[in-house]
Amino acid sequence: MNWKETYETWLKSEKLDAELKKELEEHKADEAVLEDAFYTSLEFGTAGMRGIIGAGTNRMNAYTVRQATEGLALYLESKGSEFAERGVAIAYDSRHKSPEFAVEAAKTLAAHGIKAFVFEELRATPELSFAVRHFKAAAGIMITASHNPPEYNGYKVYGDDGAQLPPAEADELTEYVRSVTDLLSIATVSEDEAKEKDLLKIVGKEVDRVYLDYLKTVTIDQDLIDRQGRNLKIIFTPLHGTGKMIGMKALKQAGFKNVSLVEQQAEPDPDFSTVKSPNPEDPKAFEMAMKQAEKENADILIATDPDADRLGMAVKTTEGHYEVLSGNQIASLLVDYILNAHTKLGTLPQGSIILKSIVSSELPAVIADKYGVQSMDVLTGFKFIAQKIKEFEETHEHTFMFGFEESYGYLIQPFVRDKDAIQALVMVAEMAAFHKEEENSCFDALHDLYHQHGHYREKTISITMEGMEGTKKIQSLMEAMRKESPKEFGGIKVCKAEDFREQVRTVKSVEEPINLPKANVLKYTLADSSWIAARPSGTEPKIKFYMSAMDDSGVVVEEKLEAFEADIQSIIDNH
């Protein structure tokens, strides 16, 4: 059917929810809105799905949630009845319709006789990852759109190891989801019936307690915290999301007693009414925290995104104001502290390793090398870090010490298999306590790292291209760069080009294979070790350009980034 026929089918269906039917009727005269809602199915990819809440096959609603869950049920059943009987853990964040979508997923699973462990209230994504492992469930579902605007929601699937599905399994699941074509006729059972048959179990505080017990293992130097836990002044904002409850408990448990919440942003709010974007990458998200920090003379400011898998940080500068750090800068500080603390205590294991994505800074790798610790690059997506952790557990070749992505995602201990802002919250506080005891600041410590290892600066340009035309433009831009590879950026020659989709690395016209899974990423390394990468988002209508500049001079590094950005903009404009 074309989009108009699909729209008419939905509008005339007696099975359609009254609220969604009303929405369709209100847009009867707006063909552009209706076409965008029905011209395609909401894409279910390697990271699940994410979209605007509303009526239509290209929207997040009860029917697209049922479709995804029906596909998941079929996927689990294909693995055998014993696997499916282990059930599915389900959590949700503070967004519009999140509780309803979680229940819809459970009702769909129940129609297959598959049990769902549904959290009683909103919980953080890392706790969902932990819950999958805790219950030994076959899979997990997280209802979240991370830090997207309020009109969005999403659906992420986790495997039985608590990690998002790796490519082969994700592709297999996607095929099952796409095989479900009649969204309005997917079988469900009522919530009451699911509970009566013990196919819907409400969980909560018992999982919190076990997760908090595991969080104790994140702390490295308890004596340090005992000395400085009252002195370090922390301002914490969960940005209207899931971070408050478990985050405050984690900090208190670790021994940090001087923590102030940004009260206006402490409670869940699906409209994120005090911020333009609930994204700890955005300095504007820290505005309220900074005003409070100035009054209370805070040492550090910490923000978690709505589902508390990402963490941002602002630190006091030598001039006394607060500066928001990048994800790469936070990771650099954490790597240095973690490896230094373990070295001093004599607890750094043989074969220690840190993991990072291919579009993250090289500075943490350089720092790790100073401590004799190896670093390894993986594709973007924390599932690839989780895959390596699983591999190391099987081979005993390495001991995982830290994993991160530049997009503010960190993992310290592998009892969770996704980025965990609650673990990072505890470790950032311990790291800041260390520098405070040394009569230093995190800002000064970062610049000490630059003086030791060189100035590394990164910047990401994220370009949104909405609708079906936007998707075509993004695809076309990537193909144009493949066809005619850039020769230089900022006047500096490209010495290595990597195409992770074609799995080919080209150095001085010589091709060699890339031994990583396929991914739609292009990366160009320059003669001075700076680099530029291009990567379309898997869940949003965006393309991201990553830039990393390196030099002995901080001023020159900034000039390089400006030149790189100008050349990238020229590529976009000329396409």
First vs last C-alpha separation in the chain: 33
Phi, psi for 535 (deg, rounded to 5) = -150, 120
> Do both 383 and 275 map to the same domain?
yes
The CATH number of whichever domain residue 89 belongs to comes to: 3.40.120.10
For the chain, list residues with pLDDT below 70: 468, 538-540
State residue 482's pLDDT score.
95
State residue 538's pLDDT score.
67
Single out the residue of 497, 437, 453, 473 nearest to residue 571, CA to CA. 473
Boundary (domain end) residue, out of 142, 175, 208: 208
> Do both 139 and 274 map to the same domain?
no
pTM to 2 decimal places: 0.94
Question: In the 3-class helix/strand/coil scheme, how is 482-524 assigned residue by residue?
Answer: HHCCCCEECCEEEEEEEECCCCEEEECCEEEECCCCCCCCEEE
Residue with tokens 């500049």: 549
> Do both 412 and 387 map to the same domain?
yes
Q: Answer whether residue 160 is part of any domain.
A: yes
> Do both 506 and 437 map to the same domain?
no
Eight-state DSSP code of residue 360: S
Q: Around Cβ 550, how many Cβ atoms within 10 Å?
A: 22
- Tokens representing 544 are 């991201």
| 8-43 pLDDT, tens digit each | 999 999 999 999 999 999 999 999 999 999 999 998
> Do both 146 and 279 map to the same domain?
no
Q: Answer whether residue 18 is part of any domain.
A: no
Give CA 122 to chain center in angstroms.
17
> Do both 154 and 271 map to the same domain?
no
The CATH number of whichever domain residue 490 belongs to comes to: 3.30.310.50
> Do both 465 and 414 map to the same domain?
no
Judge contact between 449 and 493, C-beta under 8 A. Answer: no
Boundary (domain end) residue, out of 434, 453, 472: 453
Full residue range of the structural domain in which residue 50 is found = 37-208
> Do both 155 and 52 map to the same domain?
yes
Beta bridge partners of 547: 459, 532
| 471-502 pLDDT, tens digit each | 888 999 999 999 999 999 999 999 999 999 99
- Name residues whose C-beta falls within 8 Å of residue 181's C-beta, 6 or more positions apart in sequence: none
- The total number of structural domains in the chain stands at 3
- Tokens representing 557 are 């590094």
Boundary (domain end) residue, out of 145, 178, 208: 208
> Do both 448 and 469 map to the same domain?
no
> Do both 245 and 202 map to the same domain?
no
Q: Answer whether residue 217 is part of any domain.
A: no
Give the active site residues.
146
Eight-state DSSP code of residue 92: E
Q: Answer whether residue 214 is part of any domain.
A: no
Q: Answer whether residue 535 is part of any domain.
A: yes
State residue 539's pLDDT score.
62
**Structure-derived torsion over alpha carbons of residues 13, 18, 19, 23, reported in degrees to the nearest 10:** 50
Q: Answer whether residue 382 is part of any domain.
A: yes
Q: Around Cβ 461, how many Cβ atoms within 10 Å?
A: 15
Judge contact between 360 and 331, C-beta under 8 A. Answer: yes
At position 410, the amino acid (one-letter code) is: Y
> Do both 284 and 415 map to the same domain?
yes
Residue with tokens 């914490």: 236
Phi, psi for 455 (deg, rounded to 5) = -85, 120
> Do both 68 and 116 map to the same domain?
yes
